[in-house]
Amino acid sequence: MGYAVKIYEAFRDLGEDKASILAEFVEYVESRKSATSQELKETELKLTKEIEQVRKELKETELRLQREIEQVRKELKETELRLQQEIEQVRLEVEQVRKELKETELKLTKEISETKATIVKWMFLFWTGQLIAVAGLLKLMLK
């Protein structure tokens, strides 16, 4: 015996019309309950399928991102190695330039020293010549 019949019998003494309306309402609620349960099961099934689909997509995305991350790591490692090689090459070039600068400095120092010696030699000759000329002029003047 359903709830509608029980409610009808319980409220029959209030009047047939009122008890009948109350019983109809209970039948309606019970029918909606079973329909709602079915709809709920269908919705639950749909949601379960959607959840599984989203999990699958999430897993695929995760795998794709892991591959991309590994690719970026590989590229970074290659770039790092290339940069280390370039840095080492620049260091070697800097050392070569320093060596050339030292050699040039030594050559210039030597040339400056040689030039000083030459200038001193010519100054000596010039002053000696001047001294002889002044001595000759003095000798002429004193005679």
**22/121: higher pLDDT:** 121
As a whole number, the mean pLDDT across the chain is 87
Residue 22 has pLDDT above 90, yes or no: no
Q: pTM of this prediction?
A: 0.46
**Is the pLDDT score of 77 beyond 80?**
yes
Across the range 56-82, mean pLDDT stands at: 97
Structural Rg of the chain based on CA atoms: 56
Looking at the chain, the whole-number percentage of residues with pLDDT higher than 90 is 59
* Contact status, residue 12 vs residue 19, Cβ threshold 8 Å: yes
Map out the domains of the chain as residue ranges.
Answer: 3-110
pLDDT score for 104: 96
Per-residue pLDDT, 130:
92
Task: Specify the higher pLDDT residue, 24 or 94.
Answer: 94
* SS3 category, 2: coil
The residue written with tokens 């620049």 in the block is: 90
Above pLDDT 70, what percent of the chain?
83
